[in-house]
Structure 1
């Protein structure tokens, strides 16, 4: 029996991705002109319309879906929203440094050590993401093509779980905007090693 397939993508470039960089977390920001154009161009390469599209509730993910497929998400999965960054959300990186340079340094250099600004830890993020994606995969019907639009932090922690990597590898996982991946599995299993980068032409 063919494994279920879930396609996942990080949202397009946003006005807060910079420059200048502004911490987004769970706050809403819109796609930039570059983000929209890149998503539209990628959408033209998609081989088909998904049977079902699921999105983080964040505006940038919903806009990415619209640019890719010309439609709204069919479902919203709150557990796949980006990590909560506490007091620094909405601040320019330079503003956050002025308030607490050590907190910014900790997040940039060792985010797995906890939340330096009173938000979520990577462990908490990973736990809710794995629970959300597990439920999504369980609900995929035979031959159904399902697509999930989410965030860099969400997808990095999912990769760590599926590939049985410690969260200390979080910063080593490259996740540009519009990174496209395939999770091929009947269940989300730690160490399953069944998530990979794909191009639209490789989607089946």
Structure 2
């Protein structure tokens, strides 16, 4: 059946990112000026790619990140299975000492392999995997879409990259990310395996760093 080339990006910066506020799936923030500049820089670097389809999460920061491609008339689909993890009670808060301790303990719990533990009022990594697998079943059911762009979220990307590459979820923090970073993956329909070809690529943002 061939292969599928996947361009996987994290959304551009929001004011919540800049202020260190936890967003998760419960805060539907807009991109800020830097985020829109990042989206433009990515578009300028990759507008030559013949994307067959764009997939975004249900949160508007991913739509705004891919908007310039969508405005070209490229088909897109919103899949809520690609949403960021729900951070529950932490969402919308600037981490203070107590929240930092809570967050640190949670990350250490996941890193130790206990990924069934959910945030208070939110989701566990195991629960995120379930909805991501449903979303990817939809994506992979279209082999005719040979080159696709997926815009999603940081923690969700870390979880996704673990199970796509057959790593335990406890390794999720090994997959680094930053706003509007790019991972490229290739999926082989015959072997049903994903190969990561580039990781946390931000070369397209160099002009912003120099501005």
TM over 0.5: yes
The whole-number CA distance in structure 1 between the counterparts of 2:183 and 2:162 is 14
Q: Contact 2:187–2:194 at 8 Å: present in 1 too? A: no
Point out where structure 1 has 5 or more consecutive residues left out of the alignment.
Answer: none
Q: Contact 1:79–1:128 at 8 Å: present in 2 too? A: yes
1:177 aligns with 2:176: no
Give the equivalent residue in structure 2 for 1:127.
130
The whole-number CA distance in structure 1 between the counterparts of 2:191 and 2:20 is 35
Give the aligned CA root-mean-square deviation in angstroms.
Answer: 2.8
The whole-number CA distance in structure 2 between the counterparts of 1:59 and 1:161 is 25
1:6 aligns with 2:9: no
Q: Contact 2:181–2:202 at 8 Å: present in 1 too? A: no
Per-residue deviation, 1:200: 9.9
1:159 aligns with 2:161: yes
Aligned residues: 195
Give the equivalent residue in structure 2 for 1:42.
42
Q: Contact 1:7–1:180 at 8 Å: present in 2 too? A: yes
Deviation track 1:44-67 (CA, whole Å, cap 9, x = no partner) reads: 011235222110011110110114
1:59 aligns with 2:60: yes
1:140 aligns with 2:139: no
Range that drifts further, 71-80 or 56-65: 71-80
Q: Secondary structure at the residue paired with 2:39?
A: helix
Point out where structure 2 has 5 or more consecutive residues left out of the alignment.
Answer: 204-211
